[in-house]
Amino acid sequence: TLVYVLNGPNLARLGLTEPGRDGRAAYPELVRVCQETAAELGLRAVVLQTDSEAELVGWLHRVAEEAAPLVLNPAAFTHCSYPVRDALALRRAPAIEVHLCNPYAREPFRRVSVLSDVVDGAVTGLGTDSYRLALHAVARLAGAGAR
Ligand code: DQA
């Protein structure tokens, strides 16, 4: 089974722009963690990153069409993108929101997620472990035939 791990703006620059802030790992390490965790769960992870809202919306349409499980780090789109939210709401399989950092420990605008009510759950603040745990959760939900 395929699981999508979609990442929003600036995440490919992880560890380059603000070392130590968004988790200790650089993006290639994050991709490796996702692929390795998915393999342990008997899944195949398609890990993608985009800085473009339109591209992310297109990927979310594909996820919906394929009824594929999803781990999504919408990055700053979390706090402001209704298009991303509406595209995510089309999903037909479990979806987990992830954040490397703890958004509640940062600027006030990060306390709001415009999409947390259209996901099954969220894992935040644990660096790459947020993705590990989210992949475990989504695999369980998908296996249980939830939704
Ligand atoms: C983030 C948190 C967002 O607030 C921020 O805009 C990001 C990264 C995280 O993974 O911690 O780009 O989604």
Average pLDDT in the chain: 92
Q: Assign 3-class secondary structure to the chain.
A: CEEEEEECCCHHHCCCCCCCCCCCCCHHHHHHHHHHHHHHCCCEEEEEECCCHHHHHHHHHHHHHHCCCEEEECHHHHHCCHHHHHHHCCCCCCEEEEECCCHHHCCHHHHCCCCHHHCCEEEECCCHHHHHHHHHHHHHHHHCCCC
pLDDT per residue as tens digits for the range 26-84: 999 999 999 999 999 999 999 999 999 999 999 999 999 999 999 999 999 999 999 99
How far does residue 42's CA lie from ligand 1's centre (Å)?
Answer: 28
The answer, yes or no, to whether residue 145 has pLDDT greater than 60, is no
Establish whether 120 is an annotated binding residue. no
Q: What is the model's pLDDT at position 146?
A: 41
Q: What percent of the chain has pLDDT over 70?
A: 91
With a threshold of 0.85, tell me whether the complex ipTM lies above it: yes
Domain parsing of the chain, residue ranges: 2-143
- Pick the catalytic residue: 99, 100, 124, 134? 99
The answer, yes or no, to whether residue 18 has pLDDT greater than 60, is no
How far does residue 9's CA lie from ligand 1's centre (Å)?
Answer: 9
Mean pLDDT of 8-33: 78
Return the CATH superfamily for domain 2-143: Dehydroquinase, class II (3.40.50.9100)
Which atom of ligand 1 is closest in space to residue 101's alpha carbon?
Answer: 11
pLDDT per residue as tens digits for the range 93-136: 999 999 999 999 999 999 999 999 999 999 999 999 999 999 99
Residue nearest ligand 1's atom 9 by CA: 99
How far does residue 122's CA lie from ligand 1's centre (Å)?
Answer: 13
